[in-house]
Amino acid sequence: MEKNKQDIVPVTLQNNHKENRRGTQSLPNKLVARLKRNQTELLIYNGIDASTLKILLTEMSINETR
């Protein structure tokens, strides 16, 4: 019987708005939620884009049903 290998891959999301590139330093993001299910964990930080959050939650639920 072959076990499925699962890796944790770090992902960095970048904001592509030009107005944020003018040398202003952003404040450190604050952790607002930690969701953990059987095989997945999602850390949600303050300032996350709503559409990005929706995609992550959808992927998390899809991966749990596999």
Domain layout of the chain by residue ranges: 29-64
Cα separation, 37 vs 60, whole angstroms? 9
pLDDT at 10 over 80: no
CB atoms under 10 Å from CB of 37, counted, come to 11
pLDDT in tens, 13-64: 777 666 555 555 566 688 899 988 877 788 899 888 899 999 998 888 877 6
Question: The pTM is what?
Answer: 0.51
* CA geometry: angle 19, 20, 22, nearest 5 deg: 75
Report the pLDDT value the prediction gives residue 66, as an integer from 0 to 100: 63
Report the pLDDT value the prediction gives residue 62, as an integer from 0 to 100: 79
